[in-house]
Amino acid sequence: MKMTPLITSAVMHFGEMGSRWGFNRTVGQILALIVLNEEPISAQEIADALNISRGNTSMGLKELQSWRLVKQHLVPGERKEFFIPAGDIWTLANRVFEERRKREIDPTMSLLRDLLLDAPANEKEANAQHKLNEIHDLLESITAWSQELQNLGPEKLNTLMKLGSGVGRMLELKDKLLPGKNSVN
């Protein structure tokens, strides 16, 4: 498993970015390596290529599996476990979005719901609650929307993205188009 210079650059970069994407350097490197390698690759090969301990590799792979970004791949006749990406690039990107939503938005939504249940103790709290409510509604919209987008599937999503500024014009016509929908206030 010798990495070519190009692959090395890419792997190193994804390592650096890893922490910004919600996982750590090693996990980012492992992911890049698995994605860029057309053949399935074993844990030992990963450890060797990246110069990291076998234990760290194991933990990284576990994390990537919990994100559903890589999966195991049994090679007939081989005792070792091999790893491959859990889907195409689109799928992987979707998974990252979804996992991050779970980690970054859901816990906050849940707390906000709780905080909004209590009656405000005074003026100050009433004001704060109002702000928290705005935040809650915003997060709810984002969540609903992102699920909606995922349900569209890659093709339609792509259509929508490529549509670009056409979206604006389309929205202006929407009431004529979809008379069943009530307008938003």
Write down the least CB distance from residue 86 to DNA, Å: 16
**Residue closer to its own copies, measured from CB, 58 or 120:** 120
Residue 87 C-beta-side C-alpha neighbours within 13 Å: 13
Please give, one letter per residue, the 3-state secondary structure of 102-165. HHHCHHHHHHHHHHHHCCCCCHHHHHHHHHHHHHHHHHHHHHHHHHHHHHHHHHHHHHHHHHCC
Partner interacting with residue 120 (select from DNA, its own copies, none; CB below 5-8 Å by kind): its own copies
Position among 52, 105, 132, 160 found at the interface with DNA (CB under 7 A)? 52
- The edge-to-edge listing of strands for the beta sheet with 70-73 is 41-42, 82-85, 70-73
Position among 56, 91, 146, 150 found at the interface with DNA (CB under 7 A)? 56
Return the closest-CA partner of residue 68 out of 83, 52, 82, 48: 83
**Residue closer to DNA, measured from CB, 51 or 185:** 51
Residues 119-138 that bind DNA (CB under 7 A): none
Residue with tokens 């993205």: 161
Residue 20 contacts DNA per CB under 7 A: no
Residue 59 contacts DNA per CB under 7 A: yes
**Residue closer to its own copies, measured from CB, 79 or 114:** 114
Write down the least CB distance from residue 71 to DNA, Å: 12
Reduce the DSSP state of residue 31 to 3 states and report it.
helix
**Residue closer to DNA, measured from CB, 53 or 127:** 53
Residue with tokens 């979005």: 97
Site for DNA, rule CB under 7 A? 19, 24-27, 42-44, 51-56, 58-62, 78-81
